[in-house]
Structure 1
C-alpha cells in the first residue's frame, strides 16, 4: 500500500489517498488510534469521490473509526472496457424505453461484485497491517450486493449496514440466507430505482438473528441524515 497524498481536515480526521497495485483508494482515520475499521462502498461501484460517500466517511471517521473505500474496476478513474461501456449504454437505452432492466443489471452488477471482492479483501489485508487500525471490521454502504458477498466470505467482518438502493443480483440474494452477523438495513420507501418488495424480500432472507430495518419516506437520495447517526450507534454496539 502506497500513500500518495494526505490532508488534515477541520474535524481532526486525516484523509489519505492510496494505491494498492492498480487499486486506488481513500483512507480516513481519527486522531485516536488504533481504531476499528469500516469498509465503505457506494452504490454498485460509483466513484470513491462521490460526495455522499465522502460525507458519510468523514462523519464516521470523526466518530472514532478508520474508514476506507476503493474504486471498483471500471469505476472512478479506472479504465472501462468496451464491454463495460456497451452494457451501460444498453441499460440507459432500455430504461429510456421503459423496458425491464433486470437482465442487463445482472450482466453489469454480477461481474462487478466478482471483480471487487478480491480487491476489497486485498485492501483489508493491507489496512489491518497499519498500526492506526486495530479492528474489528464493519461494512457500510449502498453497494449491498458487494456487502452481502463480503459478509459471507470474509469472517473478519463483524457487522454491516446496508442501504437498500442498489440492484442485488440473484446470486447475492441467495447468499443472503448465509449471513449471520448483525445487520442494519436502510430502505427509502419511495425509491424509484429499487422496487420496495424486492428490498423487503432481501431483508427477510438475511439469516442474521439481529437484523433491523429502518424505512423512511422519499426517493433514492432522500435518506435522512439522522440515519447516519443511528448507523454509527449501531457500529458502536458491535465494533467498540
Structure 2
C-alpha cells in the first residue's frame, strides 16, 4: 500500500488516498485513532461509477462513520474510474440498458454476464485491501461492510471471517448462483430495499434475504425508487454497525 496524498478535513477526519497494486483507494480515520486506541474498520461499497463520481457520497458516509468512532475505506472497482476498461462488462451494461429501454425481461444470462465477472475480479482485491488496511496502526477489527453491489457484499461476507456485520443494499441484479453463497452468510445483517426500485427485481431481493443463514437479520423496506432512500435509513444502518462492531 502506497499513500499518495493526505488531507485533514475540517472535522478532524484524516483522509488519505492510496494505491494498492495499482488500484486506487481512499482511507478515512477519526481524529482519535492511534496505535493504542485503534478504530474498527468499515468497508464502504459503491456502484461501478468511479471513485471520482462517488466521492461526495463516500466522504459523507466516511465522516458519519468517523463520528461513530470507525475508520472507513474503499477501493476502485475493476473497469471503473481510471482502471483499464473491461469490454465484456461494458457490453453487458449496454445490453442491460437496451433491454430496459425496450421493456424486455432481464434474463439470467445477462445478469450473470453483468455481475459475476465483476464480483470474481473485485472480491480478491477487496480482501487484499483489507489485509493491508488491518496492518496499519490505528485500524483494527472487527470489520463491517456497508453498501455497494449486494453480490460483492455477499461474496465478501460469506468468505472472509474478519467481517463481523454487514449493511447490504438490495439495489442491483443478483445472479442465481449468489443464492448458494448467501446460505453461507451467518453474520448479523441489515438489508435495505427500495420497494419501487426500477432497476431491481423485488421478488429476487426478497428471496435473497430469505436465503441468508444469519440468525440476526432484518429487512428495512421503504417506498420509492432506487435513489429515494430516506435520510433516516442512514442513521438506522449506522446504529446497526455501532451495536455489532462496538460490541464485538
TM-score range, shorter chain: over 0.9
Give yes or no for contact 1:48–1:54 (8 Å, CA) kept in 2: no
C-alpha displacement of 1:64: 1.2
Normalising to structure 2: TM-score of the pair?
A: 0.92
C-alpha displacement of 1:210: 0.2
1:98 to 93, 103, 112: 103
* Superposition pairs of residues 1-240 of structure 1, within 5 angstroms: 1-33=1-33, 34-43=38-47, 45-49=48-52, 50=54, 51-102=56-107, 103-240=109-246
Give 3-state SS (helix, strand or coil) of 1:178's partner. coil
Provide the rounded CA distance (Å) in 2 between the counterparts of 1:134 and 1:107: 35
Normalising to structure 1: TM-score of the pair?
A: 0.95
Provide the aligned C-alpha RMSD in A. 1.4
Give yes or no for contact 2:68–2:242 (8 Å, CA) kept in 1: no
C-alpha displacement of 1:219: 0.7
C-alpha displacement of 1:54: 3.3
Give yes or no for contact 2:5–2:18 (8 Å, CA) kept in 1: yes
C-alpha displacement of 1:117: 0.6
Provide the rounded CA distance (Å) in 2 between the counterparts of 1:167 and 1:65: 30
Give yes or no for contact 1:73–1:115 (8 Å, CA) kept in 2: yes
Which deviations, in whole Å up to 9, do the C-alpha atoms of 1:41-82 show, x marking residues without a partner?
Answer: 113x33234133332222212321111111111012212133
Give 3-state SS (helix, strand or coil) of 2:183's partner. helix
Once structures 1 and 2 are overlaid, which stretch shifts more, 60-69 or 176-185?
A: 60-69
Q: Count the aligned residue pairs.
A: 239
Provide the rounded CA distance (Å) in 1 between the counterparts of 2:49 and 2:160: 22
C-alpha displacement of 1:206: 0.6
Which deviations, in whole Å up to 9, do the C-alpha atoms of 1:88-113 show, x marking residues without a partner?
Answer: 22222222222222322210211000
C-alpha displacement of 1:231: 1.3
Structure 2 unaligned residues grouped into runs of 5+: none
Provide the rounded CA distance (Å) in 1 between the counterparts of 2:175 and 2:66: 30
Give 3-state SS (helix, strand or coil) of 2:197's partner. coil
